[in-house]
Amino acid sequence: MEPNNRLTPPPSTASHHHHDGATCVNCGGPTAFPPPPPDPNPNYIPIRAPAVNLPPANNREIIMRTPVPQSHQIIPLTPPYNNHFQIPIKIIQTQNDIVQFSSSQTCLQFLGFIVSLSESIRSHQLSDHFHVSPAVLAIVEILQTLIGYVDEIPLAPQSSRYGNFAYRTWHERMSCNAESFMLRFLPLELKEAIVELVPYFTDSFGNSSRIDYGTGHETNFAAWLYCLARLGVVKEEDYQALVSRVFIKYLELMRKLQVTYSLEPAGSHGVWGLDDYHFLPFIFGSSQLIDHKYMKPKSIHNEDILENFANEYLYLSCIVFIKKVKKGLFAEHSPMLDDISGVPNWNKVNSGLLKMYKIEVLQKVPIMQHFLFGSIIPWQ
């Protein structure tokens, strides 16, 4: 019986380039390329290519490769301070500037300060007893005064969704009183530092022209605290209070401003960002929960835990606020935070967020183009 050739059509050679080198596995003809060299270890089957040789396909991969930032002791400025201080200026404009900044001692020290703040609150509740200096108390009172301004300045009548113009009135009053605020806690010998401290302070609460707020402004507030640390106004024993008293009060102020005056998120990544406005409270809050016996990252989905412990743990407080201001399923409006809830422990969450802060905030031109450099935080 003859075979049915219609069922087995002859191999086509139209798409093959032939040469007197090797044999094509498809059609049996010569190929256009020489045969590959023999495998020295034919029994070896690689599971995957070494990660170090892979090109960075996306930011997540870059973040995974980034070493976990480490804490650093503050290098204090020492007297005499004669003509030392200057009005800080914006310098970063290009990606090359970011590369220079990210490899500098200035960036290393500033990020190390953030890590130190994170470590100071590790495994602590907000209500735990700790050292509170007069300078810290003065800063908390200043932030409370700014909260009072919000209550005193009524909304302007307008129909737009974002950016109530009354915020500009609030911002102007804050800016006009900024110098007097600094005098509440600066010693006499540091009075000249006001010229350098005020710009960091006034740029910590949003932009009055755009009526927006984002992680760049939050970073300026951290930079202002870093300046105070370099000047010796706040010391290492104050770090826990800087988080659990000062930063908590700052967050209370910013949430009130965001809700009252409908501040637009500055540079938001949309649903794929960590949060529309903030980053640092997630770093500090995850540190608080490291080694907690019962609360795991997945506990953010437990409403009873959120209700009972949000006042003690900053991370949970952030989740509660997000659920309050955003509608719909959490996994839909906050998919990144939902993904993070699947991480096995808080130590991994904290280290991951520190790496993410370095890559997504300190190495982004749109954010860092507004960062200020002077004598306290020098450009190197």
pLDDT, one tens digit per residue, over 18-33 is: 444 455 545 555 655 5
With 0.75 as the threshold, say if the pTM is over it.
yes
Listed residue (214, 335, 334, 225) closest to 279, CA to CA: 214
Sign of CA dihedral 118, 352, 224, 88: positive
Model confidence pLDDT, tens digit, residues 253-296: 999 999 999 999 987 655 557 888 999 999 999 999 999 999 99
Listed residue (31, 30, 26) closest to 10, CA to CA: 26
Tell me which amino acid residue 262 is.
S
Write down the H helix ranges in the chain. 59-65, 95-102, 105-120, 134-152, 166-176, 178-183, 194-202, 215-230, 239-241, 248-261, 280-288, 303-309, 314-325, 330-333, 335-340, 346-360, 365-368
Decide: 252 and 147 in contact? Cβ < 8 Å: yes
- pLDDT for 299 equals 96
Rounded to an integer, the average pLDDT of 137-152 is 98
Decide: 32 and 329 in contact? Cβ < 8 Å: no
Decide: 262 and 164 in contact? Cβ < 8 Å: yes
10 Å Cβ neighbour count for 293?
5
pLDDT of residue 136 exceeding 80: yes
68 pLDDT band, cuts 50/70/90, is confident
- pLDDT for 117 equals 98
